[in-house]
Amino acid sequence: MKIQMTMLCLALCASSTFAKDVNNKSSVSEQVGYSFGYLMGRSNADAMKDMDINAFIEGLKTASQGKASALSDEEMSRVLTQYKKQAEAKQLIELKQQAEANAKIGAAFLAENAKKDGIKVTKSGLQYQVLKQGNGKTPKANSMVKVDYEGRLLDGTVFDSSIARNQPASFQLSQVIQGWTEGLQLMKEGSKYRFFIPANLAYAQIGSGDVIAPNSTLIFDVELLEITK
Q: Is the pTM of this model over 0.75?
A: no
Q: Based on the domain organization, do 154 and 53 belong to the same domain?
A: no
CA atoms of 228 and 173, how far apart (whole Å) = 11
pLDDT one-digit tens code per residue, 23-34: 888 888 888 888
3-class DSSP state of 152: strand
pLDDT per residue as tens digits for the range 189-200: 999 999 999 999
Q: Which helix (H) or strand (E) holds 148?
A: strand 144-152
Q: Which residue has the higher pLDDT, 37 or 197?
A: 197
Please indicate, yes or no, whether residues 132 and 190 belong to a single structural domain of this protein: yes
Give the pLDDT score at 45.
80
The angle subtended at Cα 224 by Cα 222 and Cα 227, nearest 5°, is: 145
Q: Hey, how many other C-beta atoms are within 10 angstroms of the C-beta on 136?
A: 14
Looking at residue 17, its pLDDT comes to 45
Which range marks the domain in which residue 127 is found? 97-228
What is the number of residues in the chain?
Answer: 229
Same-domain status, 37 and 115: no
In a domain, 25, yes or no: yes
Tell whether 82 is covered by a domain: no
Over residues 156-179, mean pLDDT: 95
Same domain flag for 107 and 213? yes
The rounded mean pLDDT for the chain is 88
Please give the Cα distance from 217 to 156 (Å, whole number): 12
The pLDDT value recorded for residue 134 is 95
